[in-house]
Structure 1
Amino acid sequence: MSASTGTLTRKSIFSQAWPIIVGQASVPLVGIVDTFVIGRTGDAVALAGVALGSVVVTFIFWAFGFLRMGITGLTAQAVGAEDQGETNALLVRGVATGLCVGLILTVLQWPLAAGAFALLAGSEQLTDAAHGYVTMRFFGAPAALAGFAVLGWLFGIGRTRAALTMQLVMNIANIGLDIAFVWGLGWGAKGVAAGTAIAEWIALGTGIAIALRIGGLGAFTALRGDPQLFARAALRRLFAVNFDIMVRTLALLFLFAWFANGGARLGTIQLAANAVLNQFIAVAAYVLDGFAFTAEARVGAALARGSMREVLHAIRLTGEFSLAAGLAFAVVIFAVGSGLVALMTTNRDVQEVALTYLPFAALVPLLGVPAWLLDGVFIGATWSRAFRNAAIAATALYVVTDLALRPLGAAGLWTAMLVSYLYRAGALGIVLPARLRSIEPDP
């Protein structure tokens, strides 16, 4: 039995969530190591270059993040419907799509990067450092996007420990390669990117091997002659859901790029300080995503069975864990953030600015809980159109708020970011009751 279809209790929720939490926590750990490796050199330009380059790569790669989110929701529903053939077919469709799109991105990397940097504020020296980072990262694009699909499939079938293995392999390789390329070979920002690109290919190979072990080689071999594998109706459903998620992802990536650009507009020191603080936020967000991903699988499977009671129960239990974890992260960042800032960068100017805005970063985990959890609910239910519209509305409100608060400088920049999480939660929360009423009640 898939973990997505097991008994719904606090114990089962935590059992499913903890491998995701560990795996997700290791993702920002890589970002922390990247920041630490570059930050300990004392080169603020290189540190800011990695931050700006990461925004560009994240924006472009995560425009196709639907390969993780859409595959999770569709797979969870296939599991709930006990359709093993469609479950396996979704993995093949997702990986094939990821590899094809990734190859196209690699070919088009120069115009994409040039267009992105034309929109972002930054000095010529900063842009050069960021451009070197972006160029190296694009060589891992096919593996990164296909890896999204593998992870989404593993989350959808509830095999979170297998997903953890894949993520740990990726992140351990990334950390080791970063240290070797930056401290060992002195490649700077390019070394960080090269390590990540190679690690993405290692992770994809690991993920495919895991999927074959779970499903059995015979199950996937049988799909070769299946006319439904790439049938028009199946692909139409995949891309219909994924197009909405793609638009939603682009809206949120625009939001984060706007925030990063605001830091660049305020100078290299502010951008570097924001990069340090964003590592704390990333750890909290990725860990809390463990409960959101669990909600995706549980809500998707319950919806496929038509169980209103299970959907509500899944939301309540994952919500309890999310709120407790968000509060804990806020307290920890307030308590030990200053020491971590000093550890991550030796540049005194960057340290001073980061400590000034540390309280803003500490509030993000608590204020972000409702938005992250509702993301998981809507992804699992594949309520993609409402999901898309909510993100567009939240991003538009954020931009208006940021423009209004610009006279406050960096304080206004961070305040607008905090409020954006409330916009996201509110936009989803408004439509949630109507969506729940559309589910037929249990007999």
Structure 2
Amino acid sequence: MRLTTLAADWKSPNTQRQVWALAVPMILSNVSVPLVGLVDTAVIGHMDAAYHLGGVAVGATLITFVLWATGFLRMGTTGFVAQAWGRRDGDALRLLLAQLLWLALLLSCAVWLLKSPLFSLGLHFVDASPELIGEAQRYVEIRLFSLPAALANFVLVGWFIGAGVGRAPMFLLLTVNLTNVLLDVLLVVGLEMGVAGAAWATVAGDYCGLLLGLCLLRPLLAQVPGRLDWRAALQLRGAAPLMQVNRDILIRTLALEAVFYLLVVQGSQYGDAVIAANAVLLNFLLLTSHGLDGLAHAVEGLGGSAIGARDHRRLRRVLVVSTGWSLILSLAFVAAFTLFGEHIVRMLTDIESVRDTAVRYLPWMAWMPLVAVWGYLLDGLFISATRARAMRNAMLLSVVGVYVPIAWFFWGAGNHALWLGFHLFMVARGLTLGGWFVWLWWRGRWIASH
């Protein structure tokens, strides 16, 4: 591709406007997600012992495992909705929404039925103090009450992004997270409810977001007339392509979750202070990923719409603009973490052992945005094309072929080795997805074979 073509695509005012119209609301709302984690860490991190913060870290990791495992409810929704929106297919938009909300409820019931064996298994391999394990169990048991609302919110956010409406998911996520933050301060600091207060704050935030999201649906559906076949929705009739994509995204997400779980398990062998310090550092990664995901979401919505309309030129422009701004934003994160990372750590906890440990390993996280940005952006691209099988295969190759051998080889070699393995995993994730996309694009098969 000629540089003049890329420059013309970058300067396209219409594409710049479309990308930022969707990306800005999503960046603002996405950044509020890790800010909740920062507030959780800050309010719990100022309690009298490291096991409180470590308990929240382990408990949140277990809950996140469930939420990310069901993340296909968001990712699997966006591509199909974007393509249906590009076709202006009102019946398909309604059917997708109903089927996925029904699936979210069924999955919540399944997790509730299996909660004891699932979380006993999850805690079995964590080598930590009994006090830390007890706090983690308390946190998990409370957070499960929010599961139906949290999964339904995944569906609504994915539907809104697919429809190319950035403000609706922004309002939903801001409601979830601001409610969580305010109640965090009230319950943990004001009422001194500790770990339980942090968990109940999240439950309340999820249900407030769900109520708002349902209210925002009506005017959007009115823009695309259609009817809903309730019987087909409840029977998941015609949902085979959707279920296949969701299956592949589930496998991909479980592999990704295994990496984060191994991160916690490996860190646990070095003591409660390292577990807590790594939890503090992961807030930097969450802030990065949710910020950069705003541009990835723009690729999902705008790219899926271009594919639905079979508009090769529009898709190329979206990719050029989104890639350029993703790189600029990742460099801004690197600069911010390098300059202010230590100050952020000291704001999050006043436990000296945790502070010192987190600062020691901070450089790994300071450079992570530049390493991880490619995986986030390419995820959005593959979601827009509903190419979940390629996402699955790339993730499995990165985990099984790169991260697991490195984790095994460096087991017990220290926390620096742990973070080195994580960086190499992120590199592999970007290279595998990028290579597959470039191959299809240059052969003219990204849209033509879809």
TM-score for both structures, normalised by structure 1: 0.94
Distance change >3 Å, CA 217–CA 99, structure 1 → 2: farther
- What's the counterpart of residue 150 of structure 1? 156
- Out of 11, 34, 49, which is 1:43 matched to? 49
Aligned with 1:337 (options 330, 334, 341): 341
For 1:158, the aligned partner's letter is G
Shift of 1:230: 5.0
Structure 1 CA distance for aligned equivalents of residues 198 and 230 of structure 2:
42
Is residue 54 from structure 1 mapped to residue 54 from structure 2 by the alignment? Answer: no
Matched, 1:243 2:247: yes
1:104 to 2:115 alignment: no
Q: Residue 403 of structure 1: CA displacement? A: 2.2
Q: How many residue pairs end up in the alignment?
A: 435
Aligned equivalent of 1:438: 445
How far did residue 263 of structure 1 move?
1.4
Q: Residues of 2 paired with 1:157 and 1:354: CA distance?
A: 41
CA contact (8 A) 1:341 1:351 kept: yes
Q: Give the structure 2 partner of residue 363 of structure 1.
A: 367
CA distance in 2, matches of 1:247, 1:209: 32
Sequence identity, in percent?
33
1:402 paired with 2:407, answer yes
C-alpha separation in 2, matches of 1:284 and 1:440 = 30
Question: For residue 33 of structure 2, what is the aligned residue in structure 1?
Answer: 27
Deviations, residues 29-48 of structure 1 (Å, cap 9, x unaligned): 00000001101224210001
Aligned to 1:295: 299
Counterparts of 1:22 and 1:236, CA distance in 2: 34
Find the counterpart in structure 1 of residue 423 from structure 2.
418
Query: Which of 130, 133, 140 is the equivalent residue of 1:124?
Result: 130
Describe the shift of the 1:217–1:8 C-alpha distance in structure 2 as closer, same or farther (beyond 3 A).
closer
**Which of the numbers 427, 433, 438 marks the counterpart of 1:428?**
433
C-alpha deviation, 1:283, in angstroms: 0.8
1:219, CA displacement in angstroms? Answer: 5.7
- Determine helix, strand or coil for the equivalent of 1:406: coil
Moved over 6 A (4+): none
> Any idea what the Cα deviations from partners look like across 1:83-105, whole Å, max 9, x if unmatched?
12211221121112112211222
3-state secondary structure, aligned to 1:357: helix
| Gaps in structure 1 of 5+ consecutive residues | 1-5
AA in 2 matched with 1:438: R
The within-5 A match list for 1:166-315 is 166-216=172-222, 222-223=227-228, 225=229, 228-229=232-233, 234-315=238-319
1:273 Cα offset (Å): 0.6
Q: Which amino acid aligns with 1:410?
A: N
RMSD (Å) for aligned C-alpha atoms: 2.0
User: 1:23–1:163: 8 Å Cα contact kept in structure 2?
Assistant: yes
Provide the rounded CA distance (Å) in 2 between the counterparts of 1:316 and 1:275. Answer: 34
Match of 2:90 among 84, 87, 99: 84
Gaps of 5+ in 2: 1-11
Higher mean C-alpha displacement, 127-136 vs 397-406? 397-406
Asked whether the 8 Å contact 1:103–1:141 carries over to 2, the reply is no
- Helix, strand or coil at the partner of 1:142: helix
1:234 counterpart SS class? coil
2: CA distance between counterparts of 1:100 and 1:430? 37
Equivalent residue for 2:325, pick from 321, 326, 332: 321
Deviation at 1:376, TM superposition (A): 0.5
- Does residue 136 in structure 1 map to residue 142 in structure 2? yes
